[in-house]
Every structure is written in structure tokens, then in C-alpha cells.
Structure 1
Amino acid sequence: MFAFEGDEDDAAAQLELASRHEDWSGFQQMSDMVLLPAACYPLYPAVAQRGPLPEAGLTLDTGDSYVFRREPSSDPARMQIFHMREIVRVADRDTVIEWRREWRSRAEALLRSLGLELELDVAHDPFFGRTGRLLAAQQRDQELKWELLAPVAGEKPTAIASSNYHQDHFGLTYELQTAGGEPAHTGCMAFGEERVTLALLSAHGLEVSSWPEQVLEKLELKH
């Protein structure tokens, strides 16, 4: 993340350039701060610092978290900053795989109970370049990522929830270990809150009070 870290004279010079619509980027320096592209990223080093996992592993909830993306895409659903609710499983390989299988059904049932039409699709993250194409193909072939898509706008549905299986990537990166001392496996289930909201508005209309009664009850919006 670039930021201004100069003194008052630098600030005045930067402001003067900006006021003339000239290039003031020379006053910006790389800082030690970043904006999170995924809510789960800070969890892995934090958990690793606590030592080996409990025997059953851990299930973690990020709560309502802001994430930031700056992707070369014209898709209006790809917001630069949005809310992501993530549930993360950290455990041995078989436990994480089974957890993802359970959440596939659980997430689909939850969103369908809100009156949304869904499609399940094996997907990949937005990698770019030649290496990115190879990574995307590998991710699809191994079904490391799947998405739940719902109508939002246009002909193609939009991903409103997704699950990733990172295998032992974060376990190796952060020396995150199971109770038995093996590299932990990790998986996550993420809901894009703004996209879910847009899907609900697309399905039921802009007047929330006229939504189906069972949907209002599920969302605790019934008065």
C-alpha cells in the first residue's frame, strides 16, 4: 500500500502539483500496510503462533469483514471494497475435505431457503497471465474452488458464495501444524454480503416489505 510519509514541505509541494493536475506520485512511498483481498488471510499466522492445533482442529469465523480487490475487470459486481463473511476450517486433510462437502449442501440449502435460484459451478480464482492460466486450470481440475451463482443482472448468474480448499499451502507457509505435527490443511466458505443482497433484490424486488413472508422470517426482517 502506497502512502505519503513526508514532512510539511513535502505535503505543500505535493498539494501544489495536485492542484495543477500534475503527477504527484513521487511523494508516495511503499508502506508496511496492505489491504486484505480475503478475510481469512490474517488467521493462519495467528493460529500458527499458538502452536499445534487441538486434536479436532479449529473452525473460525471472520465475522463481517471488509476486503479489497483491484482487479482488471469491467464486471460491476467486482467491487473494489465489500463485505465478506468467511468460515474457515483448519485441521487434517480428511477433516477439511469432509467439512467442505458438508458446507456445499449447507450453503446451498441456506441460500435456496431465501428464495434464490442457484447454480453450482467448479470455478477458479481470477489469475492472470500465462502462469495464471496454468494455475486456474489446476484449480478447476482438482475442484479446489466451487461457487454458488444466482441471477443478479444480465443473462449470466453471479457468484454470491464460494469455497476454497487450500490443501497444505498455509500449513507449510506458516508452519501451521496438526496435533500430530503434520502440516495442517485449510478450507474456507465465503459469502459476499453485497452480492447476496443484490441477488435477493433481483429475486424479490426493491420493496423489502413485499418479499415472501418466509424469506422475511428467515432474515429476521418481519415486524
Structure 2
Amino acid sequence: MNRLTGSDGAPALAILGPEATRLVKELDRVFAGWGLAAGAEEISAPPLFPVPDLEKFDVYTNFPHLAWVAGSLDVTGEQFKPVEGRFGSGAVSEARYGLPHATCYGAYLFHEGGQVADDTLVTLVNRCFRNEDHYGGLRRLASFQMREIVALGSFPHTQEVLARFTGRIQAFAAALGIELAKVPAGDPFFRNDGGRALMQKLSPVKYEFQYGGDLAIASVNTHRNFFGERCGIRLASGEHAYTACVAFGLERWLAVLTEHFDADLDAALAAVRKAEKVTAEAAAETAEVPAAPGTAAVGAS
């Protein structure tokens, strides 16, 4: 059993019960394991960043509606005391920190100003925060956990990683008996006044894996060299690094599995373990098949 809470009674935050916690931890172990098996190194990031770090990614230009910020209380007067469950606008002195709405930002900030190999791969999990216009339990929360596998390096490397994990997500869902649709997403990732924005309109840079026609539980995202430029991440050639990421919303996977297995989370846990074994064996067999000349062994991990 989980407990949902939130301001004004909105089911915006979840305290997961023991069974749900075990299932989420297993899902995270599976997704992190995919990255580690592919050669990723795991890093850890804080749940909030200085505002300038997020501002350099155009977070407050492209996603102002989702943004949460955190600041210290102004304790010079009585206004710092909450009234009717909330602090007034004059109670916060400075909002110097921003709460990220995606996990991958930590990977780019970690490598800021550095040089990476052409085939760099990292994985990390973090709390994400989104100021949504409505909430819906585990399907749509103000704070949730997102595991990501992030590729940095050459452009072909980033695209091979996305192709590899696209296949892995689809195979894993199929083994669970879950039907997912891969659909292009229309997030305004790049500013509207640049060449990247035009390219995004011509060729989607983000695909979501949707359950039930409206719930995205995973996505694959290509950023070209946007983050490489903004963070000054370079390759040995001197070129700015390209990046891409694969993201998994853990509570959303939990919501789908809870529905699919009629709230029997022990059965869902067993199914996840079985599905991972099946897909791992299939990936290993694919890796053993020699690729045709000039092609990548997509599906190998």
C-alpha cells in the first residue's frame, strides 16, 4: 500500500509501501544493469542545482511551466511563518537553486569543461520535479525517480546507444506482456530561433514509449552537441561532444505494472525478474551473431 499526499489535497507525492519499494528497486537494478553491462560507469548527482547550471540548458526558457525553484526563508520578520499551509511570496529571500525535471543534467555538469572518449557511457538515478497542471497518483507526480543511461562522445556512438536500448525496452515490455507504442514527442527542447530547433521540427529528437496511449514510461533522446557546447565538453579531436540519453520513469513503470498485474506486486516482481533474464539471454545471442560489413550489432549490450 502506498500513501499519496500533496498540497491542497492533490495526489502529487507518493510514499511507497514495502512491496512497491521492492519492485521499484528491482526495476532500477534492471535498467542500471543494462547500462553497466554496456560499459557505463555509475555516478551520483544532487537533487538540486544552482540556477545558473540549469539556466545554461535553457530550462527556464523552454520549460518554465515545469520549473520548481528552492530558496531560503527571509527570517527578518514574521512573514516567514506559513499561513494556511503555504509560504507567501515575501517569505522567500532568494531562489538560488533549481530542482531539475530530468536526471541527465547531472551527467553533463559532471563532465563540464572536460574531455571524454568517443564512446563514453554513464548511468545515474535522481529525483526529478515537475510543476504539472494536474497530478494523477503514480502516473503523474510532482517528484519522482528517473533512471537514465547517458551517452557522450561521437554522434554515431550516441545513435548506436539509442538504437540498442530502444530494442531492449521493446523486448523487455514484450516479455512482461505490456504493449508500448513508440511515438515522437513534441517537447520544445531547443530554442525556437536556431538551426537545432528547425532540425527538431524536421526530425524528432525524442521518442516516448507510451502505455495506454498517453502514459510515457521511457524515452530515447538525442541532443546532438547542445550539451557538449553548453558545458564545454570536448572529444580528443577538439570537437564538442555529442550526447543522447535513455530515460525510465520508475514510478510510472510501477503504475503500469500495478495495473497490469491487478495490484499483485509480488507477481509483478517475479515477472520483471523473468523478463530481464529472457531479454538478457536474447541480447547475448544477438551479440554473438557477426554483424554484416558496415553495420552495427544493434541489440548487443
TM-score when normalising by structure 2: 0.60
Match for 1:67 among 128, 135, 138? 128
For 1:98-109, list aligned pairs within 5 A.
Answer: 98-109=160-171
Out of 202-211 and 114-123, give the one that drifted further. Answer: 202-211
* Residue equivalent to 2:12: none
1:53 aligns with 2:79: no
Out of 162, 171, 175, which is 1:113 matched to? 175
SS state at 2:111 partner: helix
Q: Which protein has the larger Cα radius of gyration, Structure 1 or Structure 2? A: 1
2:74 and 2:93 in contact (8 A); partners too? no
- Where in structure 1 are there 5+ consecutive unaligned residues? none
| Aligned positions, number | 205
Does 1:142 find its partner at 2:209? no
CA distance in 2, matches of 1:23, 1:83: 26
Please list the CA deviations of residues 87-138 of structure 1 after superposition, one character each: whole Å capped at 9, or x if unmatched.
00001111111221121111111222222111111112267xxx59xx9885
Residue type matched to 1:74 in 2? H
Whether 2:268 is the aligned partner of 1:205: answer no
Distance 1:36 1:5, change over 3 A: same
RMSD value, Cα = 3.1
Q: 1:187 aligns with which of 233, 244, 252?
A: 244
Q: Aligned AA for 1:204?
A: F
TM-score when scaled to structure 1? 0.78
Partner of residue 97, structure 1: 159
Match of 1:3 in 2: 71
> What is the rounded CA distance, in whole Å, between the counterparts of 2:129 and 2:218 in structure 1?
16
Aligned 1:14-93 pairs, distance under 5 A: 14-15=80-81, 18-19=82-83, 24-49=88-113, 51-54=114-117, 56-63=118-125, 65-71=126-132, 73-74=133-134, 76=136, 77-93=139-155
| Displacement of 1:178 | 1.1
* Structure 2 unpaired stretches of 5+: 1-68, 278-301
On the 8 A contact 1:115/1:215 being kept in 2, the answer is no
Q: Which runs of 4+ in 1 moved over 4 A?
A: 18-23, 135-138, 210-216
